[in-house]
Amino acid sequence: MIWAKTKDLLRERLTDHAYNTWFEPVTCIAETPSEIILEVPNQFFYEWIESHYRRTLDTIFKNDFQQNLSIKYTVSPETVKSVTAGEEPLIRSERSAKTTPPLLNRNYTFTSFIEGANNQFARAAAFSVAESPGQSTFNPLVIYGGVGLGKTHLLHAIGNHILQTRPGIKIVSASSEKFTQDFISSIQKNKTVEFSRYYRKADILLIDDIQFFQRKEQTQEQFFHTFNVLYQAGKQIVMTADQYPGEMKGLQERLLSRFQSGLSVDIQPPDFETRVAILLEKAEMNGLELPYTYIEFMATHIKDNIRELESTIIRLLATSSLFNREIDLELVKKVVRERLGQRALVDLSFEDIVRRVSRLTNVTEKEIVGVRRTKHIAQARQIAIYLCREILNNSLSSIGLYFGGRDHTTIMHACQKIESRLSSDLQLKNLVNSARQELNRIPA
């Protein structure tokens, strides 16, 4: 087969990263004298291969096989799975006879969800609902938090878990935007009865981003009645939002009251350890082995968005493929700079400074922020406090709060003590300078 031979040639001519990332997962499902049909994992693969490797493929076809082949692509049917397979579609569209049923991302499972202190409670609540939908006080369950922290992942994980453990159950999953569009379309086509029946027959209703119901009065009215019907029938409702429901503006009071009648759980930005775990998991998923120092570097500078952490790995692979170079620390730094954009490269936190001082002094982070006062621990603590004050310019009280609730006079004393010793204690000066240099900014 031409494609099998083509892959052999690509393996010889591309870097291992490039080949393993973009061509190893691709399979040929049909070949003719004029055409080849390739199955790719997702739309992104198709776009990347077409924009970056199409000329390479055409050259191989022409020079090595003396053929001019056109390429067609199809996305693997395993990429997503239908929630309501076999059910009637909601409404007919103008472009096609049927509307695609709601989908769940099959990759969003509890197994693939990286658990940390920032999301532990939300994950536990979501799993409890998935195990016993509609049978607990967690109804409705609202998962809220900032962009890219894993709310949609948990929402889909609930659906995927229920599909595996309760295959006969009816799940309806939609974004608030999809719910709104379906409602508007049902009015236009005089199918409001079908619209209501579709959403109200669910045993499990999963709605993403309920904040987009704001200021849509008629849609809110429809969702209020849908919510009531399902809730009174003991059906499970799970929703996500970008903020606590009680703080939302532009939603009817009675709707907010329903949202707050169950359990609301938040997801916070991941801590350093969780960020490292996410990067390691994403790298492993993409067949990429990175030194821990590279992972640590990315985790230190990309902090607030899990989606950005994951896309950094993809960007690293893509950049490696595009420039046909192996991944080294300089490439990692280049990608991190691109991901941060105009944001300061020294977006540091207390934990970053304490972690760096901990490694330089061999004193644990717990000891640095703790109460023990042995000489080497006290010095490490004072260095960390001094750097927090110097680099972050935080108030004495906020630094004291982080370091075990110490008062501002204790923090001031620690800063003054380090300051006074720097001119006479060369070893201390070198230690502080080493920490400052590593924390200050990404090298050029």
Consecutive sets of 10 residues in the chain, 444 residues long: mean pLDDT of each? 88 78 83 83 74 86 88 64 40 34 75 85 93 86 88 92 88 88 86 88 91 87 91 93 85 87 88 84 81 83 80 83 80 81 58 88 91 90 90 76 86 92 90 80 40
Which domains does the chain possess?
2-75 (3.30.300.180), 82-267 (3.40.50.300), 272-340 (1.10.8.60), 350-440 (1.10.1750.10)
CA separation for the pair 142, 266 (Å, rounded): 8
Question: Tokens 């799993």 map to which residue?
Answer: 127
DSSP element (H, E) containing 20: helix 16-22
Question: Tokens 């490039």 map to which residue?
Answer: 18
In the sheet that holds 204-208, the strands lie side by side as 171-175, 204-208, 236-241, 141-145, 263-267
Q: What is the pLDDT of residue 90?
A: 46
CA separation for the pair 22, 26 (Å, rounded): 7
Q: What is the pLDDT of residue 185?
A: 86
Q: What is the pLDDT of residue 85?
A: 36
CA separation for the pair 161, 105 (Å, rounded): 12
Q: What is the CA radius of gyration of the chain?
A: 27
Three-class SS state of 58: helix
Q: Is 336 within 8 Å of 297 (Cβ atoms)? A: yes
Q: Is 142 within 8 Å of 263 (Cβ atoms)? A: yes
Contact residues for 182 (Cβ-Cβ < 8 A; gap 6+): 90, 91, 174, 195, 198, 199
Question: What single letter denotes the amino acid at residue 348?
Answer: L
CA separation for the pair 429, 422 (Å, rounded): 5
Per DSSP, 389 falls in state I
CA separation for the pair 320, 48 (Å, rounded): 13
Q: What is the pLDDT of residue 415?
A: 92
Q: What is the pLDDT of residue 393?
A: 67
Three-class SS state of 327: coil
Q: What is the pLDDT of residue 78?
A: 47
294 phi, psi to nearest 5 deg: -70, -45
- Inter-axis angle of helices 350-361 and 375-387, to 10 degrees? 140
How open is the CA angle 352-409-272, to the nearest 5 degrees? 10
Task: Identify whether 89 is preceded by a cis peptide bond (ω within 30 of 0).
Answer: no
Distinct helix (H) and strand (E) counts, the chain? 21, 10
